[in-house]
């Protein structure tokens, strides 16, 4: 790929490598101060450090591309600002895993499980589960605190930071709001397509794409025409990105996703894919879905049967069509973005919607 | 009291009133944007709003006094900056109540209980407890996000904010670290006086007093002599403040503390007061403590008996002596602080150590 920020390539792997390095450097810089307080903090730091490692770094990439599209030159500072997104994301994942009771994340034990295991490995008092949840709440809080610290200490000019900080503030509040609305929808048992789309818009589209692009743009003083192209791209691609996630949660290959096949079915996740299935499936199939969604003991054959219902009802095709139209509208918005950022956005649009993990 | 910031009194009630108003205004300003996303967010906002209401506003007060001592003039902006501390504190309390499984806070149901009750009031799916914890994790995350937003949008000059932000960053990280060390100590069953004092230093002394004073001072460009007087005052008074908390957790009047009598004994909290009791009590009394600490079903007569052991062992007197010496050393540090801030610090030192709630 030939797109670049200044001389650096704008490809996702190249950005990921730089962001990984900045994230690791940020944690490494703070580790000695905290470990000097007490050696017991090494566990907290290790789990935070692993929590911010890995991942696709999509949010960071959108900051970098948003910056480049607005004429920002390649520099260490922008990768540091981009790293801020990944601390926020680490908080979201660590806290989300507690809320969902998820035991694994990217194929490894989730943070609350790791803290729980530390407790189990000692002759300690109290419940290992409660210690695990407590440790993970604090690990997430530390990541959340480090997110704005990473942004504001990235070394870009104060003016740049002052432009971007309000968008970062909105991004955080929208994330918490979207997550809360998701909790409510799951509790309600879903079924309302409009409410499901609101959750997707706030929890995913704005949070994953629109706001990071905007933040990158604002850091480099993007004009309002560019910011509005970023927003169109972000909201449409963001929805498509989440819908791909929902499809992977049902049909994904566990070797690639790092999660058991059909995990979303076992969790009973109320997604647009499920809402569409309930609308389109015949009464017997709809009953089968209702009876089995959210059952922890679903076996492989039952999951296969549910996948069949989702597919044969036409819901899967409907969602795939939404993904394709979201991707296409996002690609159209790229026409208002200068090269080489537009090229990078096009590649990211394809990657985000055709990924397998 | 005659101390003042500019023309405004530096008394705790006067500061509290101004900070309460700024906290409420901050939330009110953000409410319409969030409620426009979905009416379901009203519950989240109500619980966050109640979570940041009330309280002693000690941390905010120390920011205001730190500011005044460094020559800062009274202005709305500093009360807004001070309000930031209260958002951080609201996050700490909401998340702490989840970790401890505490059902009440300031005499009202805790945040996770309130979210759980919302779930119970509907015919919703899943566990009300899990929904309650999830909602409260997000409510705390929103408070934590709003803390630095309140600080950085307070309206003080960028230079002032740039001086204070690193201290604010340290304050947050030390809080999370201190809370984690406290979790570990509780799990270990306490008993190590040195480790218990480290917890007190980070979770309480720096967080409640030393850092807020420093932040107020840095906002007003305090010199290093003043900052070091603030630190001496903060660390010593901060320890005394926490020890008073520990005494109130065992001996406090529930009508005043808003918590059941002997709550810390039922929770089995490992405090310096308990560590001292275990050192000083005879073997029979120590056994009695060990057998009963952390039992949820402690009745009034058993709690009275444990109070007697703590008192008759000499541990209570030892801790009261530590409180008094901490307060006295803090009062001595005030000699290096200009009036009227020094007068306010002296009053706060007495209030923080002789309070009943």
- ipTM of predicted complex: 0.93
The Cα of B186 is separated from the nearest Cα of chain A by a number of Å equal to: 7
Residue A2 is predicted with a pLDDT of: 40
With beta carbons under 8 A apart, name residues in chain B contacting A186. Answer: 125-126
**Joined tokens for residue B4:** 């003042």
- Structure pTM? 0.93
How would you write B167-230 as a 3-class SS string? Answer: HHHHHHHHHHHHHHHHHHHHHHCCCCHHHHHHHHHHHHHHHHHHHHHHHHHHHCCCCHHHHHHH
Cβ of A181 and B41 within 8 Å? yes
* pLDDT, tens digit, 9 for 90 and up, residues B157-183: 999 999 999 999 999 999 999 999 999
More confident residue, B318 or B107: B318
- Asked if residues A189 and A278 have their Cβ atoms less than 8 Å apart, the reply is no
Mean pLDDT of B272-285: 92
Block residue for tokens 């480099």: A220
Residue B194 is predicted with a pLDDT of: 87
Residue B9 is predicted with a pLDDT of: 63
**Joined tokens for residue B227:** 């900052």
Residues 69-128 in B contacting A (C-alpha not used; CB under 8 Å)? 91, 95, 98-99, 101, 119, 122, 124-126
Cβ of B148 and A144 within 8 Å? no
Tell me the count of A-B CB pairs closer than 8 A: 156
By the CB < 8 Å criterion, does A56 face chain B? no
Count of C-beta atoms within a 10 Å radius of residue B171: 23
Question: Which portions of chain A are predicted below pLDDT 50?
Answer: 1-2, 6-7
The stretches of chain A forming alpha helices (DSSP H) are 12-37, 41-51, 58-69, 76-100, 111-120, 128-152, 158-188, 193-199, 211-219, 224-251, 254-257, 263-267, 272-280, 283-292, 300-312, 315-333, 341-354
Best mutation target, A34, A36, A148, to test chain B (most B CBs within 10 A): A148
Residue A341 is predicted with a pLDDT of: 94
Phi, psi of A57 (to 5 degrees): 60, 30
Residue A356 is predicted with a pLDDT of: 84
The Cα of B164 is separated from the nearest Cα of chain A by a number of Å equal to: 12
More confident residue, A2 or B244: B244
The Cα of B255 is separated from the nearest Cα of chain A by a number of Å equal to: 29
Residue B1 is predicted with a pLDDT of: 38
By the CB < 8 Å criterion, does B291 face chain A? no
By the CB < 8 Å criterion, does A300 face chain B? no
Closest residue, chain A, to B123 (C-alpha): A188
Best mutation target, B102, B180, B296, to test chain A (most A CBs within 10 A): B180
- Asked if residues A88 and A24 have their Cβ atoms less than 8 Å apart, the reply is no
Closest residue, chain A, to B153 (C-alpha): A166
Residue A196 is predicted with a pLDDT of: 87
Residue A152 is predicted with a pLDDT of: 97
With beta carbons under 8 A apart, name residues in chain B contacting A152. Answer: 165
Residues 174-233 in A contacting B (C-alpha not used; CB under 8 Å)? 174, 176-177, 179-181, 183-184, 186-189, 195, 198, 202
**Joined tokens for residue B74:** 């009274």
pLDDT of residue B193 exceeding 90, the answer is no
- Asked if residues B273 and B316 have their Cβ atoms less than 8 Å apart, the reply is yes
With beta carbons under 8 A apart, name residues in chain B contacting A44. Answer: 176-177, 180
Q: State what percent of residues in chain B have pLDDT above 70.
A: 97
- Cα B218 from Cα A294, distance rounded (Å): 53
By the CB < 8 Å criterion, does A155 face chain B? no
> Of B172-181, B227-236, B259-268, which gets the smallest average pLDDT?
B259-268
Residue A243 is predicted with a pLDDT of: 95
Which of A315, A303, A324 minimizes the C-alpha distance to A259? A303
**Joined tokens for residue A299:** 């076996």
- Asked if residues B201 and B239 have their Cβ atoms less than 8 Å apart, the reply is yes
Residue A8 is predicted with a pLDDT of: 52
Q: A17: Cβ–Cβ under 8 A, 6 or more apart, which residues?
A: none
* pLDDT, tens digit, 9 for 90 and up, residues B88-104: 999 999 999 999 888 88
Residue A206 is predicted with a pLDDT of: 95
Best mutation target, B48, B187, B294, B295, to test chain A (most A CBs within 10 A): B187
How far is residue A348 from each of residues A7, A14, A174, B47, B218, measured CA to CA in Å? 19, 13, 23, 39, 44
Q: How confident is the model at residue B257 (pLDDT cuts 50, 70, 90)?
A: confident
Which of B344, B302, B287 minimizes the C-alpha distance to B58? B344
Residue A7 is predicted with a pLDDT of: 45
Residue B7 is predicted with a pLDDT of: 46
Closest partner CB to B37 (pick from A101, A146, A198): A198
Phi, psi of A52 (to 5 degrees): -95, 0
Block residue for tokens 């309930």: A278
> Of A177-186, B32-41, B182-191, B211-220, which gets the smallest average pLDDT?
B182-191
Q: How confident is the model at residue B4 (pLDDT cuts 50, 70, 90)?
A: low
């Amino acid at each position: 790929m030939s797109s670049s920020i200044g001389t650096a390539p704008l490809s996702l792997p190249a950005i990921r490598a730089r962001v990984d390095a900045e994230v690791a450097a940020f944690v490494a810089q703070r580790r000695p101060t905290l470990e000097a307080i007490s050696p017991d903090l090494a566990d907290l730091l290790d789990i935070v450090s692993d929590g911010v490692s890995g991942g696709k770094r999509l949010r960071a990439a959108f900051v970098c591309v948003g910056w480049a599209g607005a004429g920002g030159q390649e520099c260490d500072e922008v990768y540091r600002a981009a790293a801020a997104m990944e601390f926020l994301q680490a908080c979201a994942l660590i806290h989300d895993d507690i809320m969902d009771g998820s035991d694994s994340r990217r194929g490894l034990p989730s943070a609350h499980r790791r803290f729980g295991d530390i407790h189990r490995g000692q002759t300690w008092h109290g419940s290992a589960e409660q210690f695990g949840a407590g440790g993970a709440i604090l690990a997430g809080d530390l990541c959340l605190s480090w997110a704005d610290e990473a942004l504001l200490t990235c070394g870009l000019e104060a003016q740049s930071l002052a432009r971007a900080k309000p968008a970062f503030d909105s991004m955080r509040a929208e994330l918490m709001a979207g997550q809360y609305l998701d909790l409510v929808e799951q509790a309600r048992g879903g079924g309302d397509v409009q409410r499901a789309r609101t959750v997707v818009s706030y929890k995913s589209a704005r949070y994953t794409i629109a706001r990071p692009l905007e933040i990158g743009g604002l850091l480099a003083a993007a004009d309002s025409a560019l910011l509005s192209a970023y927003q169109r791209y972000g909201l449409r691609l963001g929805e498509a990105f989440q819908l791909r996630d929902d499809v992977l949660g049902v049909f994904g290959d566990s070797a690639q996703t790092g999660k058991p096949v059909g995990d979303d079915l076992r969790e009973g996740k109320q997604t647009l894919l499920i809402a569409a299935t309930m609308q389109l499936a015949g009464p017997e199939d709809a009953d089968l879905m209702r009876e089995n969604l959210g059952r922890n003991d679903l076996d492989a054959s039952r999951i296969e049967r549910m996948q069949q219902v989702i597919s044969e009802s036409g819901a899967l095709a409907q969602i795939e069509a939404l993904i394709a139209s979201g991707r296409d509208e996002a690609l159209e918005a790229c026409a208002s973005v200068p090269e080489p950022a537009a090229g990078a956005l096009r590649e990211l649009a394809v990657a985000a919607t055709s990924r397998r993990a």
